[in-house]
Structure 1
Amino acid sequence: MKLTTRKVAIVGTGFVGASAGYSLVNQNICDELMLIDINKERALGEAMDLQHCVDFTTSRTKVSVGSYEECKDMDIVIVTAGGPPKPGQTRLDTLELSAKIVKSVVDGVMKSGFNGIFLVASNPVDIITYLVWKESGLPRNQVLGTGTSLDSSRLKSILSQHIKVDPRSIHGYTLGEHGDSQFAAWSHLTIGGKPFMQILEEHKETLGEIDLDEIIDQVRKAGFEILNRKGTTYYGIGCALASITRSIFNDDHKIIAVSTILDGEYGFENICTGVPTIITREGAKEVVELNLTEDEMDKFKNSNNVLREYMATIGY
C-alpha cells in the first residue's frame, strides 16, 4: 500500500506566512508543514504556537522549522517573503526589494533538488511569480501566484452587501494585475447562475444606485483600507493560500483567479497575470479564456502593459 504525505514549506513567517500556516493547520490541509525564515527564532516561535493547535483539530499536522536544503521532498513551497508596502506606496513600489529577496529564496530551494509547485504571495505577486518561474526553470504549470483570487473574493463580498445574497452564490472574477490596474469581468459575473448585468437591468428601481466603477474601486483599494487601519493584511491572503493549496492536493480542478504564466492565452505571452485557471495536482493545469468584451479586453491590455513596464525594471 502506497501512502502519500502532503508536505508544505512556507518561506517567510511574517503575518502572511503565519496566517497561511494557521489556516493550513486549522483546516488539516497538509500532513507536514515546515517553516523557513531568516529569523529562525521567529520561525521556531510560530512552529511552537501552531503545534499547540493540534488538540483542537481533527487530525495532526506535524509542524517544524527547516531550511532550503530540506525542500527537496516538499510538494508545495509557499513564498511569502518580501517587502510589504509602506503607507503611500503601492504593491509595485516594493518590487526591487522583493525581487532581491525572492531570487535568493528560489536559488536556495532549487539547489535542494525541489521539483514541486511554487505558490507565491510576495508582492507585486504577478511579477514575482514570473521571476520565480524564470529563476527556477520549472514548467509554467508548477509556478503560480495568488493573483486576483483575494480580489475576486473581495468583489463578491462587496457585491453581496448590495444584492443581499451569500457571496458564495456570486460567481465572477477580477483579472489582470493584483493591484490598481485590475478590472472586473462584469460580462461574466453571475448570481445564482443569472447574469449580473441582466439582474441590474431587470431591477433598476431597487438596484439602480449600484455604481460598478465605484465597486471595483473599492476592491482595488480594499487592501490599503485595511493597511491604513491595522498596518497590513494577512487573514484573507492566508485563507487564499490555504484554499489554493487544498485544491492542489485534492486535485479539485477548481477554477481560481491566480497569477498564471500566459503562453498565448488571451493573446499574451511571456507575462504572468491574474486569470481564471483550473487548479489540479499538477498546479496551474489550464487557463480558462473568457470571451471578454472589447472594453474588458482594453482594460486587460492596459493592466498587462503596466506589469510589463515594471518587469523591465528588473530585467524582464
Structure 2
Amino acid sequence: MGKKNRKVAIIGSGLVGSSCAYAMINQSICDEIVIVGRNHDYALAQAMDLSHCADFTSTRTRVRAGYYADCQDADIVVLTAGANVKPGQTRMDIMADAAAITREVVSSVMASGFDGIFVVASNPVDIVTLVTAQVSGLPRHRVIGTGTSIDSARLKTLLADVFQVDPRSVHGYAMGEHGESQFVAWSHVTIGGKPILHIIEEHKLRFPDLDLSDIARKTKDAGWEIFTRKGSTQFGIGSAIAYITRSILNDDHRIIAVSAILDGEYGESNVCVGVPAIIGDGGIEELIEFNLSEDEQVLLRRSCDLVRSGMASIAIPS
C-alpha cells in the first residue's frame, strides 16, 4: 500500500531557506525537500550538506536541488527568496524590489502546474504575501505569510524570562504588520491560563518595575538587535516556517499568528497583516477574531493603514 509523499519546495537557498530545511529535517516534517535557488550550484551544495543529516535523525528526509518545474507536485512551496535589507533600511524600504522578485518567482512556480499552499517568509512579508496571492490566483486561505509568528515567539521568550516559566506556558500574540507598527494584544496574553494583566495587578510588589510597553518594544526590535550584530536572522524564522509547515502537513489545527489576507475580519479588507489563525491541511482553516480593547483596535487599524500605504506605493490595488 503506497504512502503519500509529503513534498516541500523551498525557493531560496540562503540562510533562511537552509535553516528552514534544517529544522524540517530534524523534526521529520516531510519526506522530500527540493531547494530551488538562483545559483543552482549553491543550491546543490546546500542540498548535499543537508542530506548528510540523514544518519543522525529519526527518519530520512530526501533533499535535493531542483528547478521550478519540481514545484508541480509539491504540497507546499516556501518562499524565502527576496530583496536583502541593508543597514539603516526597514523591511518596507525594500518592498518595490521584493514585489518585483516575488512576481517573477511566483509566476515561475505557477507555470509548473503547482496547486498547493504557499508559505511566504520573504520581507516585507505582509506585502509579499499579498503579491503572492494576486500573482498565483490561489484563494486567500492557501497563501500564508509567516507574519508575526516569530514576533509572538519573541514575546513569549521575553515574558518567560520575566515570570520564570517555560515559554510554552505563555500564550499571546504580536499582531499587525511584521515591522514597526506591530503591537502586542495584551488583553489576550495569558500565563498558565491566567491573564497577564490580572497577574500584574495581583502581584504589584513582585513585579514593581515591569513595563509592558518596554516588553512590546523589545519584541518589535528583537529582529534588528540580531540583524545589527550578525547581519541576518535565520534560526528563529526557519523554525517558524517549519512550525507552520508541520501544522499544514499534519493537519494539526495549531493557532499561529500568520500574515493573512483579511476579508471583513476585524473590520478590515484587502490588506494582509499578522493575526491568529487555525492552520491545517487546507491552509488557513479559520481566522481568530479577538475581542480587542479600544486601544488595540486603533493600533491594528493604524498597522493596516501603514501596510495599505505600502501597497499603494507599488501599485498593488487595495
Q: Same fold (TM over 0.5)?
A: yes
Given the alignment of the two structures, is residue 154 of structure 1 paired with residue 154 of structure 2, yes or no?
yes
Unaligned runs of 5+ in 1: none
- Residue equivalent to 1:21: 21
State the Cα distance separating 1:98 from its structure 2 match.
Answer: 1.0
- Normalising by structure 1, report the TM-score: 0.99
For 1:89 and 1:260, the matched residues in 2 are separated by: 24
- Residue equivalent to 2:164: 164
State the Cα distance separating 1:197 from its structure 2 match.
Answer: 0.1
SS for the counterpart of 2:270 is strand
For 1:2 and 1:176, the matched residues in 2 are separated by: 43
- Residue equivalent to 1:305: 305
- Bigger Cα displacement from structure 2, 233-242 vs 86-95: 86-95
State the Cα distance separating 1:214 from its structure 2 match.
Answer: 0.8
SS for the counterpart of 2:50 is helix
AA at the equivalent of 1:56: F
For 1:26 and 1:167, the matched residues in 2 are separated by: 21
- Residue equivalent to 1:188: 188
State the Cα distance separating 1:2 from its structure 2 match.
Answer: 4.7
State the Cα distance separating 1:100 from its structure 2 match.
Answer: 1.0
Given the alignment of the two structures, is residue 106 of structure 1 paired with residue 129 of structure 2, yes or no?
no
State the Cα distance separating 1:97 from its structure 2 match.
Answer: 1.2
State the Cα distance separating 1:208 from its structure 2 match.
Answer: 2.0
For 2:192 and 2:213, the matched residues in 1 are separated by: 22
SS for the counterpart of 2:252 is coil
- Residue equivalent to 1:238: 238
AA at the equivalent of 1:48: M
State the Cα distance separating 1:27 from its structure 2 match.
Answer: 1.0
User: What is the 5 A alignment of 1:191-202?
Assistant: 191-202=191-202
- Residue equivalent to 1:278: 278
Q: Could you report, residue by residue, the CA deviation over 1:125-154 in whole angstroms, capped at 9, with x for unpaired residues?
A: 011000000110001111000000000000
For 2:255 and 2:315, the matched residues in 1 are separated by: 31
Q: Root-mean-square deviation (CA), in Å? A: 0.7
For 1:4 and 1:207, the matched residues in 2 are separated by: 52
- Residue equivalent to 1:52: 52
Unaligned runs of 5+ in 2: none
SS for the counterpart of 1:19 is helix
SS for the counterpart of 2:286 is strand
SS for the counterpart of 1:84 is coil
Q: Could you report, residue by residue, the CA deviation over 1:53-80 in whole angstroms, capped at 9, with x for unpaired residues?
A: 0000111111111111121100000000
- Residue equivalent to 2:83: 83
- Residue equivalent to 2:64: 64
For 1:11 and 1:184, the matched residues in 2 are separated by: 31
For 1:185 and 1:70, the matched residues in 2 are separated by: 40
SS for the counterpart of 1:205 is coil
- Residue equivalent to 2:121: 121
State the Cα distance separating 1:210 from its structure 2 match.
Answer: 0.8
AA at the equivalent of 2:128: I
AA at the equivalent of 1:13: S
Provide the identity percentage.
55
For 2:197 and 2:227, the matched residues in 1 are separated by: 32
SS for the counterpart of 2:201 is helix
- Normalising by structure 2, report the TM-score: 0.98
- Residue equivalent to 1:268: 268
AA at the equivalent of 2:78: I
- Residue equivalent to 2:144: 144
For 2:266 and 2:46, the matched residues in 1 are separated by: 41
- Bigger Cα displacement from structure 2, 248-257 vs 92-101: 92-101
SS for the counterpart of 1:207 is coil
- Residue equivalent to 2:178: 178
For 2:237 and 2:275, the matched residues in 1 are separated by: 17
User: What is the 5 A alignment of 1:186-265?
Assistant: 186-265=186-265
Aligned residues: 316
AA at the equivalent of 1:135: V
Q: Could you report, residue by residue, the CA deviation over 1:241-287 in whole angstroms, capped at 9, with x for unpaired residues?
A: 00100000110111000001111111111111100000000001110
AA at the equivalent of 2:223: G
